[in-house]
Amino acid sequence: MNKQLTELPGVGPATLNNLHALGIFSIEDLCFHLPYSYQDRSIFTNIENLTEGEEHVVRGRVVSVQTIYRPRKMMVIKINDGSGFLNLRFFYFHPSQAKEFVKDRNVISFGKISLSKYGYELIHPEYSFDENNIIEKDFLVPTYRITKGISQKKIRAFIHNALEHYDFTEAGEDLKRYDPAFAMDLKSALTTIHLPAIDESLPELLPGGSHPARVRLMKEEMVAFQCGMIAIKEKKHKQTAYECPNEESWTKGVLRNFPFDLTNAQNRVLQEISQDLTKNIPMLRLVQGDVGSGKTMIALLACCRAIDSGTQAVMMAPTTILAEQHFLSIKALLQDNEDHIALLTGSTTARERKIILKKLADGDIKLLIGTHAVFQSDIVFKKLGLVVIDEQHRFGVNQRLSLVKKQNENNKAPHQLTLTATPIPRTLAMSIYAHMDVSVVDELPPGRSPVITSLLSKQKTSELSQRVSDAIKNGSKIYWVCPLIEESETLDLSNVEEREKELAEFLPKSIITKLHGRMKPAEKISAMEKFKTGQTKILVSTTVIEVGVDVKDADIMIIENAERFGLAQLHQLRGRVGRGEKQSYCILLHKDNLHPDSKQRLEVLKNHTDGFKVAEEDLKIRGPGEILGSQQTGIVPLKYTNLIRDSRFLESTKNIAENLTKENPATAENLVKRWLSGSIGYAEA
Ligand code: ADP
Ligand code: MG
């Protein structure tokens, strides 16, 4: 039996809370709180041999101690080791600390070296007058994710204690026969990772490295992940869903009213969806397609099929603006049936909401469109056949969770269709979303000409003013995106309020609208409407317009402080233009003196318009593992594995998971609990 956290020395109520903040609730969690980096503290470095930006241990004699008050109170200790001088600088210190630094006393300090106009410095170094406290000759010293109240030193002590108390007999030995990586037992692997011998290779131990202990742990986590996916899939297959084989008035009406032909890709994906919907097991399908590939139409036609087969459908979007837009464009395509659709968002009045709820329960509303407001617990459908989640990666964990919980009478589960523009290669997507079937919309509607993207330094903003007013005279509609809403004291970034004022100096105020997240929902919708109808020509906004917004004749996208955004996000923003006939432009305004690396990154957008290409180049520049945060991708966040960086193990671990689930389900279940207790619900949603 494993001990409780509070049985470890030094863990009182306050510390327990702090550990909880780190997601640590048990001895096991402590053992699996893995370091993200290591320090080599085995040797002293002479001051003359220090390297800026690297970590070093330095020993020297105190030369002087100064308390300086400008610009703010700080303590500076100068030390000398015979080869040079080094400053130890402290911004937070106790007066008694200053007294410890007696002239000529030997001090040992450790930290990252920085270079100022006063020479080499250590800012807030760890220090001691006893070298045994700093120097570590036998082991590399791990660094952990920590939080307020828990220092590196404390967490190291807790983890070492936890490793001693963890009951490894519960861990299961079954994995050994599936892969030689598991020959190393779990205890040795964890001990090595938490306390590697000084001669271990540091890069191999780090994320992405190939140290056997790391590979052992990572593979176990991946097997656990795959077991979890299999479990979800099996659970789904035990449920039943309404069969939706019909294409009647809803489907026919939409196709008749849609002014274009569907693309081949849209038709193919719809075919795949139709096959799923015809079955009585719940569909779980992900549709991946670049911005502008026409995913809304696919989703709508899926909804129509569900409705034509006698059930209801619901479509959920991550923002009010997007929900509203879907509602209006879908309503226009559903002329004959428009009385049977409704919009439900945070800004729906209580009275309207009550009516909608009643009609949903009666089955009078067939298609509900909205934000996560559509999944509040008091909302009851008569016969929910299909759930569509647009821009799936944008939803929080809990929101997605509450949604799958919607069940019908006789325990029928709705079919589920998720849409995303996240560009992950297809094979990767199939393994990462192993519990879903994946369809790819790999074609844009015809007649689009690629957006022309250019980079422009901020000091040339005034040149841009001329170009903007000319463009507006020629009928352009412009998005102008700023990173902030209003001026910030700490961040030197452009903001919506100020930009709006500056634009009003040379453009009529009446053609400028602003849009940001702090406006009331109704104000946002009205701003969007004005821009859409052409009443205003320039929309100054934050990134609230990033996903889904569709204004066909908008043809210029200007993004300020572009260097602050990720490439995936910039690509999404750029996807707001280039939707009509007109040649569209995207101008990435960046700060002056842009670092060459940042410039190279932005140039990826200049050179590529395909989302997959952008992602690929991003991967090359930033290195694997950094490509997209889990926030951007909606990928299950794992402790140790980055599913993109470590994708080469996806296939083999999937096979292991399949065999394990068959041959030893108890171990499979234990693995899922150990590694995914917090996130498996997440994957399910
Ligand atoms: P996304 O895949 O980014 O959600 P949308 O569904 O918003 O893309 O579609 C982008 C634009 O393309 C919309 O204005 C839509 O009306 C249009 N569109 C969709 N399908 C077609 C098609 N087959 N032919 C022409 N235009 C289309
Ligand atoms: Mg969309």
Residue 659, in any domain of the structure: no
Q: Write down which residue in 572, 588, 608 finishes a domain.
A: 608
Which residue type sits at 430?
M
State the pLDDT confidence band at 171, using cuts at 50, 70 and 90.
low
Pocket probe for ligand 1: among 260, 388, 572, 584, the residue whose CB has the most ligand atoms within 8 Å is 260
| Ligand 1 atom with minimal separation from the 263 CA | 23
Contacts of 680 (CB under 8 A, 6+ apart): 228, 231, 232, 636, 672
Residue with tokens 């096991």: 28
| Ligand 1 atom with minimal separation from the 579 CA | 11
Lowest-pLDDT choice from 169-173, 249-253, 375-379: 169-173
Mean pLDDT to the nearest integer, 641-658: 84
Mean pLDDT to the nearest integer, 309-332: 91
Beta bridge partners of 127: 109
Would you say the pTM of this structure is higher than 0.75?
A: no
Residue 192, in any domain of the structure: no
Check whether residue 481 and residue 533 sit in a common domain. Answer: yes
Tell how far CA 85 is from the center of its chain. Answer: 44
pLDDT for 544-594, tens place per residue?
A: 777 667 888 999 999 999 998 888 788 889 988 988 888 999 999 999 888
Instruction: Give me the helices (H) in 363-508, please.
Output: 397-404, 426-432, 461-473, 496-504
Burial class (CB in 10 A: 0-12, 13-18, 19+), 462: exposed
Tokens of 80: 């000398």
Cα distances from 347 to residues 59, 84, 371, 378, 525, in angstroms, run 64, 66, 10, 17, 10
Whether 29 shows a pLDDT value over 50: the answer reads: yes
How far is residue 480's CA from residue 557's CA, in Å, rounded to a whole number?
6
How far is residue 126's CA from residue 17's CA, in Å, rounded to a whole number?
25
Check whether residue 286 and residue 423 sit in a common domain. Answer: yes
Check whether residue 284 and residue 419 sit in a common domain. Answer: yes
Check whether residue 433 and residue 312 sit in a common domain. Answer: yes
Check whether residue 538 and residue 419 sit in a common domain. Answer: no
In this prediction, residue 26 carries a pLDDT of 87
**Where residue 70 sits, what CATH number does that domain have?**
2.40.50.140
Residue 103, in any domain of the structure: yes
State the pLDDT confidence band at 270, using cuts at 50, 70 and 90.
very high
Tokens of 72: 């703010």
Tell how far CA 375 is from the center of its chain. Answer: 22
Domain ranges, residue 308: 249-441
Check whether residue 527 and residue 550 sit in a common domain. Answer: yes
State the pLDDT confidence band at 629, using cuts at 50, 70 and 90.
very low
* Percent of the chain that is helix, strand, coil (3-state, to 5): 45, 20, 35
Which residue type sits at 627?
I
Q: Is 255 in the pocket of ligand 1 (CB under 6 A)?
A: no
Number of domains the chain is built from: 3
Contacts of 602 (CB under 8 A, 6+ apart): 455, 562, 563, 570, 588, 590, 594
Which one-letter DSSP state was computed for residue 458? G
State the pLDDT confidence band at 378, using cuts at 50, 70 and 90.
confident
Mean pLDDT to the nearest integer, 32-44: 88
Which is more confident, 232 or 589?
Answer: 589
**Secondary structure in 3-state letters for 590-643:** ECCCCCHHHHHHHHHHHHCCCHHHHHHHHHHHHCCCCCCCHHHHCCCCCCCCCC
DSSP result, 632-673: HH-PPPPSS--TTTTGGGHHHHHHHHHHHHHH-HHHHHHHHH
Determine contact, residues 192/640, Cβ cutoff 8 Å: no
Residue 222, in any domain of the structure: no
In this prediction, residue 243 carries a pLDDT of 96
In this prediction, residue 532 carries a pLDDT of 92
Whether 279 shows a pLDDT value over 90: the answer reads: yes
Q: Is 297 in the pocket of ligand 1 (CB under 6 A)?
A: yes
Mean pLDDT to the nearest integer, 200-220: 89
In this prediction, residue 135 carries a pLDDT of 87
Ligand 1, atom 4: closest residue by C-alpha: 295
Pocket probe for ligand 1: among 258, 261, 388, 550, the residue whose CB has the most ligand atoms within 8 Å is 550
Ligand 1, atom 26: closest residue by C-alpha: 445
Whether 146 shows a pLDDT value over 50: the answer reads: yes
Which is more confident, 231 or 86?
Answer: 86
Check whether residue 357 and residue 335 sit in a common domain. Answer: yes
Which residue type sits at 149?
G
Beta bridge partners of 603: none
Residue 96, in any domain of the structure: yes
Ligand nearest to the CA of 550: 1
In this prediction, residue 582 carries a pLDDT of 87
Mean pLDDT to the nearest integer, 284-297: 90
| Ligand 1 atom with minimal separation from the 552 CA | 14
Determine contact, residues 618/485, Cβ cutoff 8 Å: no
Q: Is 266 in the pocket of ligand 1 (CB under 6 A)?
A: yes
State the pLDDT confidence band at 176, using cuts at 50, 70 and 90.
confident
Lowest-pLDDT choice from 172-176, 434-438, 630-634, 640-644: 630-634
Q: Is the dihedral of CA 411, 637, 635, 653 positive or negative?
A: negative
Ligand 1, atom 5: closest residue by C-alpha: 294
Determine contact, residues 631/391, Cβ cutoff 8 Å: no
Tell how far CA 482 is from the center of its chain. Answer: 20
Q: Is 536 in the pocket of ligand 1 (CB under 6 A)?
A: no
Residue 535, in any domain of the structure: yes
- Helix (H) or strand (E) segment spanning residue 25: none
CB atoms within 10 A of CB 70: 6
DSSP result, 61-103: EEEEEEEE-SSS-EEEEEEE-SS-EEEEEESS--HHHHHH--T
Determine contact, residues 180/174, Cβ cutoff 8 Å: no
Please name which of 281, 285, 260 lies closest in space to residue 272, comparing C-alpha atoms.
285
Lowest-pLDDT choice from 114-118, 156-160, 427-431, 543-547: 427-431
In this prediction, residue 343 carries a pLDDT of 96
Three-state SS at 420:
strand
Whether 5 shows a pLDDT value over 60: the answer reads: yes
In this prediction, residue 102 carries a pLDDT of 93
Which is more confident, 616 or 141?
Answer: 141
Q: Write down which residue in 135, 164, 188 finishes a domain.
A: 135
Check whether residue 126 and residue 256 sit in a common domain. Answer: no
Determine contact, residues 388/315, Cβ cutoff 8 Å: yes
How far is residue 4's CA from residue 27's CA, in Å, rounded to a whole number?
6
Name residues with Cβ closer than 5 Å to ligand 2, which is an ion. Answer: 548
How far is residue 400's CA from residue 412's CA, in Å, rounded to a whole number?
18
Please name which of 106, 104, 99 lies closest in space to residue 57, comparing C-alpha atoms.
106
pLDDT for 388-447, tens place per residue?
A: 998 766 554 444 444 455 556 667 889 999 898 876 766 677 776 777 788 989 898 987
In this prediction, residue 512 carries a pLDDT of 94
DSSP result, 222-280: HHHHHHHHHHHHHHHHHSB--------HHHHHHHHH-SSPPPHHHHHHHHHHHHHHHSS
Check whether residue 475 and residue 414 sit in a common domain. Answer: no
Residue 364, in any domain of the structure: yes
pLDDT for 490-541, tens place per residue?
A: 667 778 888 899 899 989 999 999 998 888 878 888 898 899 999 999 999 9
Beta bridge partners of 238: none
How far is residue 123's CA from residue 579's CA, in Å, rounded to a whole number?
51
Q: Is 18 in the pocket of ligand 1 (CB under 6 A)?
A: no
Pocket probe for ligand 1: among 270, 296, 551, the residue whose CB has the most ligand atoms within 8 Å is 296
Q: Write down which residue in 109, 135, 161 finishes a domain.
A: 135
Check whether residue 429 and residue 459 sit in a common domain. Answer: no
Check whether residue 310 and residue 356 sit in a common domain. Answer: yes
Residue 401, in any domain of the structure: yes
Average pLDDT score over the chain: 86
**Where residue 541 sits, what CATH number does that domain have?**
3.40.50.300
In this prediction, residue 628 carries a pLDDT of 38
Whether 348 shows a pLDDT value over 60: the answer reads: yes
The percentage of the chain sitting over the pLDDT mark of 70, rounded to a whole number, equals 89
Check whether residue 376 and residue 406 sit in a common domain. Answer: yes
The percentage of the chain sitting over the pLDDT mark of 90, rounded to a whole number, equals 43
In this prediction, residue 356 carries a pLDDT of 96
In this prediction, residue 213 carries a pLDDT of 93
